[in-house]
Chains A and B, each alone.
Chain A
């Protein structure tokens, strides 16, 4: 049962959704390579806010159904599949999803996603991947709330995350140029 597939590229997923919308074909979804629930939830959330409720509901249901099938796979298979996305170049899909949610005004949902994603990484003691994520964050691409979120959730693990100190300095420099800068905004989050 490895023939599970989801159009994991967000652009492809979007194309597929429009196709479904135009053709009236009911949509099914299968999961191909990532069991990362945080990313999957992010995509579902994005769909739910970007598309008409009727279509989004179908897509979400199909994805959740696929996820359930994926979870039924032998754990050894899941583990083999799990790292494919990790090895993909570029930023994690969840950062893109969080940024998109934030842009749509769903800041709390975006924060929940960020916390949830780091939750899964740290529970797995995957400090290397967490550090790589921090290193990939460009402060100008995110709003103030998400930047503070990155620093808050990584605070207790700072000794294992070499990139956090650099990110803190970049964030501080960027936030000081913003009109919503407040004194004490970064208190207690220092490296």
Chain B
């Protein structure tokens, strides 16, 4: 697994679509997809920043980008899909804990949110985009539920949604998803260095550890 901070190795040197991640708090990370078109050569980062806040702005150089396991030709397809998704969802997407499989229709960029699918985290959004491009990064059911810290994190997110004006209906929906599998940002980023084929949690763990050390200088506690 190799990753580079944008300040050390520019995004322009990366394939046309890569997973990018940075530490936002002592034990929190955020990730998205940095993508580029030859038409303007601007490296943009498509990411779900928060509830109905899907951003597609020039990438900040403090992000680390991960050298992908998928071929460079496929990166270009992911970049095209990123542009389509950004164009289709200027109003953003909801934040929730739904599973990311089959969540984005690559033909339309349409997010298939329904009664059992309420929204994404930053990590599950990235998983959904790659799956839509035919590159599922992880074997979803190889992740267990109820890992240490998952319930606390989900409760924290719900409090933030409540404090920031999410509708009561949406909050009730998200509450119903407490206990769902959580794919952590560092795990998703590490998985992008492996797939294809899709990575299991066991495949990802050593890469995730190396990535976390690279970003933070520390091992996980």
Chain A interface (Cβ < 8 Å from any Cβ of B): 105-109, 111-112, 115-116, 118-119, 122-123, 144-145, 148-149, 151-157, 180, 182-185, 187-189
Residues of B within 8 A of A (CB-CB), count? 29
Chain-A contact segment, one of B91-99, B100-108, B171-179, B213-221? B100-108
Bound state CA distance, A139 and B5, in angstroms?
Answer: 39
Interface string of B105-133 (1 = CB under 8 A from A): 11111100000000000000000000011
Query: Which of B80, B196, B197 contacts A108 (CB under 8 A)?
Result: B80
User: 18 interchain pairs (CB within 8 A)?
Assistant: A107-B38, A108-B37, A111-B77, A115-B81, A119-B107, A123-B108, A145-B73, A148-B73, A148-B76, A151-B134, A152-B80, A156-B132, A183-B71, A184-B71, A187-B135, A188-B134, A188-B135, A188-B136
Bound state CA distance, A72 and B83, in angstroms?
Answer: 28
Answer yes or no: B13 CB below 8 A from chain A CBs: no
Closest residue on chain B to residue A110 by CB atoms: B80
Closest residue on chain B to residue A152 by CB atoms: B77
Interface SS of chain B: helix, strand, loop or mixed? Answer: loop
Total A-B Cβ pairs within 8 A? 86
Bound state CA distance, A76 and B151, in angstroms?
Answer: 54
15 more A-B residue pairs beyond the given contacts A152-B134, A189-B134, with a C-beta to C-beta distance below 8 A = A105-B38, A106-B38, A108-B76, A112-B37, A115-B80, A119-B109, A122-B105, A123-B108, A144-B73, A152-B106, A156-B107, A180-B73, A185-B73, A187-B74, A188-B196
Q: Which of A109, A145, A155 has the most CB of B within 10 A?
A: A155
Residues of A within 8 A of B105 (CB): 122, 156
Question: In the bound complex, do residue B71 and residue A111 qualify as a contact, i.e. CB atoms below 8 Å apart?
Answer: no
